[in-house]
Amino acid sequence: MLLLSALSSRPQQIDQLDSVVDFPNELSNFESILQRVSEFYAQRLKLSAEMADSSNVVKTLVVRAEDSRLLNDMKLMIQMYSNLMDTNRELLAESTKRANNNAEVCTAYSTAPPQHHHQHQHQHQHRILTFTL
């Protein structure tokens, strides 16, 4: 406070001001949130790849089922459409997982994990912030 009042009484040009702040709980919470979001995005990438593979299978099954219909091979056509129904069910399940994953990412962004009040003083980290005025 004294430094600020002394600075305000003398007109000076300040280009840079270094400060040390200590917010260990907030930093820990933020790092935890980033870790959770990173895990969710890794899961999302995996789900997207699986859905892309399933989409290719759907295209193949539709073509094979229609070829079988045109060739009057009803047994193979029924088998292809049955496989198509199974693949469609899997895609719907993957879509649900992806929607749940997206909701968890949104929740992770909007809420912080509970703070741990049992942290020791020696675990605190100091950060130097530079403000350009």
Residue type, 4: L
The structure tokens listed for 125 are 């980290």
The pLDDT of residue 111 is above 50 = yes
Higher pLDDT, 45 or 119: 45
pLDDT average, residue stretch 104-110:
75
Other beta carbons less than 10 A from residue 61's beta carbon: 20
**CA separation for the pair 62, 54 (Å, rounded):** 12
pTM comes to 0.53
The structure tokens listed for 75 are 């047994």
pLDDT at 28: 84
Share of the chain above pLDDT 70, in %: 73
Give the residue carrying structure tokens 């959770």: 36
pLDDT at 4: 54
Give the residue carrying structure tokens 């992770």: 108
**CA separation for the pair 133, 130 (Å, rounded):** 10
The structure tokens listed for 89 are 């069910």
48-93 residue pLDDT tens: 888 888 889 999 999 999 999 999 999 999 999 999 999 999 888 8
pLDDT average, residue stretch 100-128:
58
pLDDT at 8: 58
CB 87 within 8 A of CB 99: no
**SS3 label, residue 90:** helix
Higher pLDDT, 97 or 110: 97
